[in-house]
Every structure is written in structure tokens, then in C-alpha cells.
Amino acid sequence: MELRDRVMAEMKQAMKDKNTTRVSTLRLINAAIKDRDIAARGEGRDEGVSDADVLAILGKMVKQRQESARQYEEASRFDLAEREQVEIAVIEDFLPRQLNDDEVANAVDAAIAEVGGSSIRDMGKVMGVLKGQYTGQMDFGAVGPMVKDRLSA
């Protein structure tokens, strides 16, 4: 089942269950996907966004909510921070399992070997391979410095 179809099916079920928090979060996901669809059509891609694009959207939504929750906690607004955490849990239902540190290190080594990376100039190629294979499974902001260290060593 395509990811956007799964979101719609989950939204319908949440409506039947009268789970308002889940419905509102799923509507936000659906709106973000539709916004990206519109942008893709403007670029000439009539088929819209792929599942990989949807995973990237979901990953971005999780990061935004984590940052918001952190800011709310710093401001002692624990009620709002808790709401952000609930939204994160709903969004993460659609993301694949996150790789642990060892799996990330192995993936980085495999990507470097695949592109024949030997210097920092190959970082873009390595990151491209990783994003193609592991979208939604790792934090690329944290992986970038690891790739940089391995290529400069």
C-alpha cells in the first residue's frame, strides 16, 4: 500500500474512532503531502511525489515537532510539549525503523565503498547514495559529520 493511501486509511479509521488528536495530526500530514504534490506539478512532475518524498516530509515534520517540544519544555509549557510528543508518535507510525549507531556506521562505510570515496570531494556522492537507500531511517544531519570524518581520514 502506498504511503499516502495508508495515511488516508488511518485518517478514516481515526475519524470512526473519534480520536481527534490523531485525526488532526493525520490531516497535517495529508496537507503537507498535498502541498508537495502541488509544488511537484509546478515543476512538471504530474505524478506528484513518491513514497521517498513522503518519507522525507514525515522526517521533517518529526524534526520540527521535536524542536518545538524542546522549546516548550524550556519555557515550562509542558502541556504543549506533551501535545508535540503525541504528534511525533503519530507521525513515526509511518516512518520505517530508525537505524542504530552500528547500522549507520556500516551503511556509511558501504556507501563510501560503493562510490569509491577517497576524499572530501566525494561527500555529495556518498550522501546521495545514503539518502537514496535510507530515507527516513537515519538523521542525515548527524550522518554528514560522520561521512566527513571518514572521508578526511
Q: Is residue 21 within 8 Å of 82, Cβ to Cβ?
A: no
Per residue in 68-114, pLDDT (tens digit) is 999 999 999 999 999 999 999 999 888 888 888 888 888 888 888 88
Lookup: cell for 118: 577517497
Domains of the chain and any CATH numbers: 3-92 (1.10.1510.10), 101-152 (1.10.10.410)
Q: Tell me the C-alpha distance between 96 and 99, whole Å.
A: 9
- Which amino acid would we find at residue 128? G
| Sign of torsion over alpha carbons 41, 47, 52, 58 | positive
Would you mind telling me the total number of residues written for the chain in this entry? Answer: 153
pTM value is: 0.74
Instruction: Judge whether residue 22 has pLDDT over 90.
Output: yes
CA 106, distance to chain mean position in Å, is 20
The C-alpha cell 561521512 sits at: 147
- Looking at the chain, the whole-number percentage of residues with pLDDT higher than 70 is 99
pLDDT surpasses 60 at 1:
no
Mean per-residue pLDDT of the chain: 88
Q: DSSP letters of the chain?
A: --HHHHHHHHHHHHHHHT-HHHHHHHHHHHHHHHHHHHHHHHTT-TT---HHHHHHHHHHHHHHHHHHHHHHHHTT-HHHHHHHHHHHHHHHTTSPPPP-HHHHHHHHHHHHHHHT--SGGGHHHHHHHHHHHHTTTS-HHHHHHHHHHHHH-
Mean pLDDT computed over 142-153:
84
